[in-house]
Structure 1
Amino acid sequence: MPDLDLVAQALARNVRRFRADRALTLEALAARAGVSRGMLIQIEQARTNPSVGTVVRVADALGVSIARLLDYDQGPLVRLVPQEEAVTLWSTPRGSAAVLLAGVESPGPLELWHWTLRPGEGHDSDAHPVGTTEIVRVDAGELLVVLDGVEHPVPEGTTAAYDAGRPHGYRNPGTVDARLTMVVSVPPPPA
Structure 2
Amino acid sequence: MTRSIARGVRDARKDRGWSLEALSARSGVSKGMLVHVEQARANPSINTLCRLADALGTTLSRLVEPVELPPVRTVRAGEGACLWRSAHSAGRGVLLVGSEPSSSLEMWDWTMYKGDSYGGESHLPGTRETVHVLQGSLRIEVHGEATVLHRGDSAVFAADHTHTYSHTGDGKLHFVLAVAQPATTARATGSG
TM-score by length of structure 2 reads 0.91
- Over the residues paired in the alignment, what is the CA RMSD in angstroms? 1.4
User: What is the identity, as a one-letter code, of the residue corresponding to 1:120?
Assistant: G
**Can you list the C-alpha shifts for 1:55-78, whole angstroms capped at 9, x where unaligned?**
111111112222111112633211
Partner of residue 156, structure 1: 151
Unaligned ranges ≥5, structure 2? none
**Can you list the C-alpha shifts for 1:91-137, whole angstroms capped at 9, x where unaligned?**
11311110010001252421000001112321111111111100000
More displaced 10-residue stretch of structure 1: 161-170 or 26-35: 26-35
Partner of residue 17, structure 1: 11
More displaced 10-residue stretch of structure 1: 160-169 or 75-84: 75-84
Identify the match of residue 179 of structure 2 among 170, 181, 184.
184
- 1:80 pairs with 2:37: no
More displaced 10-residue stretch of structure 1: 169-178 or 68-77: 68-77
Identify the match of residue 146 of structure 1 among 141, 145, 150.
141
What is the correspondence of 1:12-51 to structure 2 with a 5 Å cutoff? Answer: 12-51=6-45
Query: Contact 1:63/1:108 (CA < 8 Å) preserved in 2?
Result: no
TM-score by length of structure 1 reads 0.91
Query: Contact 2:59/2:101 (CA < 8 Å) preserved in 1?
Result: no
Give the % identical residues: 38
Query: Contact 1:64/1:108 (CA < 8 Å) preserved in 2?
Result: no
Partner of residue 62, structure 2: 68
Identify the match of residue 91 of structure 1 among 70, 85, 88.
85
Query: Contact 1:137/1:182 (CA < 8 Å) preserved in 2?
Result: yes
Unaligned ranges ≥5, structure 1? 1-6
More displaced 10-residue stretch of structure 1: 161-170 or 119-128: 119-128
Q: Distance in 2 between matches of 1:20 and 1:73?
A: 14
Aligned residue-pair number: 185
Q: Distance in 1 between matches of 2:167 and 2:140?
A: 9
**Can you list the C-alpha shifts for 1:23-81, whole angstroms capped at 9, x where unaligned?**
22211111111110111111111111112211111111112222111112633211111
Q: Distance in 2 between matches of 1:165 and 1:73?
A: 27
C-alpha displacement of 1:12: 1.2
User: What is the identity, as a one-letter code, of the residue corresponding to 1:103?
Assistant: G
**1:108–1:61 Cα change, 3 Å:** farther
Partner of residue 175, structure 1: 170
